[in-house]
Amino acid sequence: MIKSYFKIAWRNIVRNKAFSAINIVGLALGIAACILILQYVAFELSFDNFHANGDQIYRVRQDRYNEGKLSTEWAAGAFAVGNSFKEAYPEVEDYVKLINRGSMVLDHGERSFKVEKVYISSSSFFSVFSYPLINGNPKTALTETNTVVLSASVAKKLFGSENPVGKIIQINKRKSAKVTGVFEDMPANTHFKTDILISYATFLNDVKPENPDLAWQWDGCLTYLKLRAGTNIPKLEAKFPALVDKLAGEDHKKYNSAAVYLLQPLKDIHLYSHLMMEAEPNGDGNTVYLLLGIAFFIVVIAWVNYINLSTARAINRAREVGVRKAVGSQRSQLIGQFMTESVLLNGLAVVLALILVALSLPKFNEISGQQLSFALLGSRMFWLPLITLFIVGAFFSGLYPAFVLSGFKPVVVLKGKVSTSTKGILLRKSLVVFQFAASLFLLVGTLTVFQQIRYMRQQSLGINIDQTLVINPPIVADDSTFMRQMSAFKDELLRQSGVKSVTASTVVPGQPSQWNAGGIRLKGTDESAGKQYRIIGVDYDFLKTYDLKLVSGRNFSKEFGSDPKAVIFNKMAVKQLGFSNPDQAIGKEINFWGEIFTIVGVTDNFHQQSLKDAYEPLIIRLIPDIRGYFSVKLSTGQANTSVAGIQSEWNRFFPGNPFEYSFLDDRFNDQYKADQRFGQVFGVFTGLAILVACLGLFGLASFTTAQRTKEIGIRKVLGSSVYAIVEMLYREFAILILISFVISAPLAWFATNRWLNGYAFRTDIQWWLFAAPFVLVLLIALLTVSFQSIKAALMNPVKSLKSE
């Protein structure tokens, strides 16, 4: 019987080639899109799932308050947290401290190269986390002073095939360290990545006589706790304030501040944490689940096509059902037959979908920024969703048509009296409305994303980043001669015809200022009046190079001998200090960590970071010998020719340092890369959703016009024009699109408005963001049905009236 089902199903598929092709292609596109999105989502949800004790590991986040108001949210907080919590609470089994040290140059023999991600780590790193150690003892690898553990790729670059354990390397050409282990390269799905770990004991030795383990005001330490199984997290968090008040309360009262410590589950960090000093740029949980919703919409639209087309063809197969019933077929057998057709069609669609996935995977990786590979074909995370999609799709998309087709009464259909039911017509129209409502919703969302990105990129930043070459800070340099080297380097660059100005600073536009200073207040005021500010350290030429607008006061100048004790505020910082007018702040002295500085100027507010973020209170502090990024302002049209000359001078003044540069406008726009990728992914799958919906609409239009062939013939005989007949056929589908728009518009407005509220500077939701998708979808839909409609309208009425 089953063999017979499949044989008949195959014959029906071959006999109705157009119907079958539309269904198979539509289902394949829906399944392929769904598979791609599910793989993307599965990867995003897999972050840090490989740790054996992952459910017991929590990161301590730190929220700092000033005068009762939240001022900063830190991923990397106070240094004293880990050891203090371990000593105080039996729920804490172990802890790990990690400190980001940026980039370093490593040397061994003749081999020398730069590593980008260097961290200091306490000794429990390999006991708490499940990063495999290839060589070395995980319990002792990070216990001694001047010891390091290398990643496998770094070890290979330095030592080739040799075992590096026990060998000595040079760090920044100044410090020797012994290699005590080699770990496997960090996987892609971890929120923390490093090339080399330096022992925390080394750090303690370098900062003597200070003791970071007692420091509650030093921020910048990532702290992870391994808790005992079954620990009640809210109860443990409730204990933190009493201990913090006991150990750091005096300092907090002194500066009228407070610090609140909360626990973040390790597995939640990648998708739900966007704090200061994150180890890596994290993903977005809302985006992931939104894409999951898109995957659902697309595959449901494809299944709706199948249901629509199958039920629309019910009249064409009515006599087949009548004959089968007349010769003894039971309804259950007919249902089995039609379900078999659904299984076969879905199976063919899955095969085609796999081919489409294989062909589109490289392009999808380029758009999404991920590196999904064909290795997924051997993964349970690939086959489980695929098999689920196949079973659910075949069952639910085939179930309703099977019951409709098997329900015809043989006496009625064999007499030719069968007609389409009102309920069936209403269902099909409802499904079309659903399809296009979903498509319109997605299209409005896509346009809003691109409009917001365009808005952010076109706004004035209040700072000039054009024609600016940024050189990464020198790593290897002699402190005693650095000021002289820097001055000579800048002088030589300014002699080049293509260079207009040069400045050095701790950060450049597009970077968050990680220098967060609390307790800053007007001279003579109580310590409790201190507030937190972001600090940018600069040399004399920073404002000139970036065309920063002064609204009051003056720029830094070597003509004023006191300027190394000078600062410039932005307007937000002046407001936070308590002045309503920038002029009032000029000449005022501030207490900056026990030193007295004078406010000599006030700049207009400018965007140090992207327009996602609000203006922050910034203090620009003069540090003449600042070791930071070099910003080189170039003459228009001479950027490419100037790079070689700049590199030559760099190699002369900072030998041993790699010349790493970028153009600042590109660097600044990198902040929008995640939004652009989201918009592109959103747009691609929105296009697929519309395509799949139109495939179904094309098939439905074919059957609709076929059923109305005789009506069209009569209308032509009675004098209707081709235009009037086409308009009649168009009107039905246009009304469905209009209903779709009425349903989707308020939902799209609510969703896009909520998404835009996540941006400090956002575009307005304009009427054309809704009108354009409606017109576009309407035109696409009408063009889709045009072929069948015009063909039917042009048909000879004599031929139409003969059809039955």
Do 61 and 138 fall into the same domain?
yes
Using the predicted structure, report yes or no on whether residue 611 has a pLDDT greater than 80: yes
What is the band of 312 on the pLDDT scale with cuts at 50, 70, 90? low
The mean pLDDT value of the chain amounts to: 84
Do 32 and 69 fall into the same domain?
no
Do 215 and 288 fall into the same domain?
no
Using the predicted structure, report yes or no on whether residue 552 has a pLDDT greater than 80: yes
Q: Which residues of 249-288 are buried (b: 16+ CB within 10 A; e: fewer)?
A: eebbeebbbbbebebbbbbebbbebebbbbbeebbbeebb
Do 119 and 222 fall into the same domain?
yes
Do 352 and 235 fall into the same domain?
no
Pull the structure tokens for residue 595. 């030193």
Domains of the chain: total: 3
What is the band of 298 on the pLDDT scale with cuts at 50, 70, 90? confident
Q: Name the residue with tokens 């105080």.
A: 88
Q: Is residue 573 part of a domain?
A: yes
Q: Is residue 592 part of a domain?
A: yes
Alpha carbon separation from 748 to 156, 238, 284, 682, 763 (Å, rounded):
53, 41, 20, 14, 15
Query: How many angstroms separate the most distant Cα atoms in the chain?
Result: 109
Secondary structure of 466-508 as H, E, C letters? CCEEEECCCCCCCCCCHHHHHHHHHHHHHCCCCEEEEEEECCC
Final residue in a domain of this structure, among 244, 272, 300 = 272
- pTM here is 0.84
Identify whether the C-beta of residue 593 lies closer than 8 Å to the C-beta of residue 515: no
Query: For residue 451, what is the DSSP state?
Result: H
Q: Is residue 462 part of a domain?
A: no
- Greater pLDDT, 55 or 387: 55
Report the distance separating Cα 667 and Cα 664, nearest Å: 5
Q: HSE (CB half, 13 Å, CA atoms) of 311? A: 27
pLDDT score for 285: 87
pLDDT score for 425: 67
**Per-residue pLDDT averaged across 321-331, rounded?**
63
Q: Is residue 672 part of a domain?
A: no
Pull the structure tokens for residue 157. 């670059």
pLDDT digits (tens, 9 = 90+) for 440-451: 888 898 889 889
Does a cis peptide bond (omega within 30 degrees of 0) precede residue 209? yes
What is the band of 344 on the pLDDT scale with cuts at 50, 70, 90? confident
Q: Name the residue with tokens 């006030």.
A: 602
Q: Single out the residue of 594, 597, 591 nearest to residue 620, CA to CA.
A: 597
Q: Which amino acid is at 448?
A: T
Final residue in a domain of this structure, among 602, 627, 659 = 659
Give the sign of the dihedral formed by CA 92, CA 222, CA 612, CA 604.
positive
What is the band of 230 on the pLDDT scale with cuts at 50, 70, 90? very high
What is the band of 56 on the pLDDT scale with cuts at 50, 70, 90? very high
Q: Is residue 312 part of a domain?
A: yes
Domain that holds residue 15: 1-46+282-419
Report the distance separating Cα 306 and Cα 283, nearest Å: 36
Alpha carbon separation from 271 to 266, 275, 281, 373 (Å, rounded):
10, 12, 10, 22
Do 242 and 391 fall into the same domain?
no
Give the sign of the dihedral formed by CA 375, CA 380, CA 385, CA 387.
positive
Lowest-pLDDT range of 167-171, 352-356, 416-420, 462-466:
416-420
Do 351 and 252 fall into the same domain?
no
Report the distance separating Cα 200 and Cα 87, nearest Å: 18
Three-state DSSP at 722 gives helix
Lowest-pLDDT range of 2-6, 82-86, 624-628, 688-692:
2-6
Final residue in a domain of this structure, among 659, 678, 697 = 659
Do 61 and 28 fall into the same domain?
no
Q: Single out the residue of 644, 665, 657 nearest to residue 486, CA to CA.
A: 657
Identify whether the C-beta of residue 40 lies closer than 8 Å to the C-beta of residue 368: yes
Residues contacting residue 724 through CB under 8 Å, at least 6 positions apart: 715
Pull the structure tokens for residue 420. 């389409």
Q: Are strands 595-603 and 589-592 parallel, antiparallel or unpaired?
A: antiparallel
Identify whether the C-beta of residue 693 lies closer than 8 Å to the C-beta of residue 783: no
Using the predicted structure, report yes or no on whether residue 318 has a pLDDT greater than 80: no
**Per-residue pLDDT averaged across 656-664, rounded?**
90
Report the distance separating Cα 309 and Cα 316, nearest Å: 11
pLDDT score for 714: 74
**Per-residue pLDDT averaged across 226-235, rounded?**
95
Alpha-helix residue ranges (DSSP H) falling in 51-124: 81-88
Residues contacting residue 28 through CB under 8 Å, at least 6 positions apart: 348, 349, 350, 352, 353, 356
Radius of gyration of the chain (CA): 34
Alpha-helix residue ranges (DSSP H) falling in 670-757: 673-707, 709-717, 722-756
Do 518 and 372 fall into the same domain?
no
Q: Single out the residue of 263, 265, 221, 213 nearest to residue 238, CA to CA.
A: 263
**Per-residue pLDDT averaged across 67-77, rounded?**
85
By the 10 Å C-beta count (0-12 exposed, 13-18 middle, 19+ buried), 479 is classed as: exposed
Three-state DSSP at 140 gives coil
Report the distance separating Cα 369 and Cα 366, nearest Å: 5
Using the predicted structure, report yes or no on whether residue 374 has a pLDDT greater than 70: no
Q: Is residue 240 part of a domain?
A: yes
**Per-residue pLDDT averaged across 135-143, rounded?**
93
Three-state DSSP at 635 gives coil
Q: Is residue 317 part of a domain?
A: yes
Do 196 and 255 fall into the same domain?
yes
Pull the structure tokens for residue 27. 């289902």
pLDDT score for 382: 66
**Per-residue pLDDT averaged across 428-450, rounded?**
84
Q: Are strands 175-183 and 168-171 parallel, antiparallel or unpaired?
A: antiparallel
Using the predicted structure, report yes or no on whether residue 326 has a pLDDT greater than 80: no
**Per-residue pLDDT averaged across 310-331, rounded?**
62
Lowest-pLDDT range of 243-252, 456-465, 477-486, 568-577:
477-486
Do 333 and 477 fall into the same domain?
no
Q: What end-to-end distance do the CA atoms of the chain give, in Å?
A: 34
Q: Single out the residue of 272, 300, 80 nearest to residue 191, CA to CA.
A: 272
Do 528 and 399 fall into the same domain?
no
Identify whether the C-beta of residue 654 lies closer than 8 Å to the C-beta of residue 588: no
Q: What are phi and psi of 222, to 5 degrees?
A: -75, 125
Lowest-pLDDT range of 399-403, 596-600, 622-626:
399-403
Q: Is residue 318 part of a domain?
A: yes
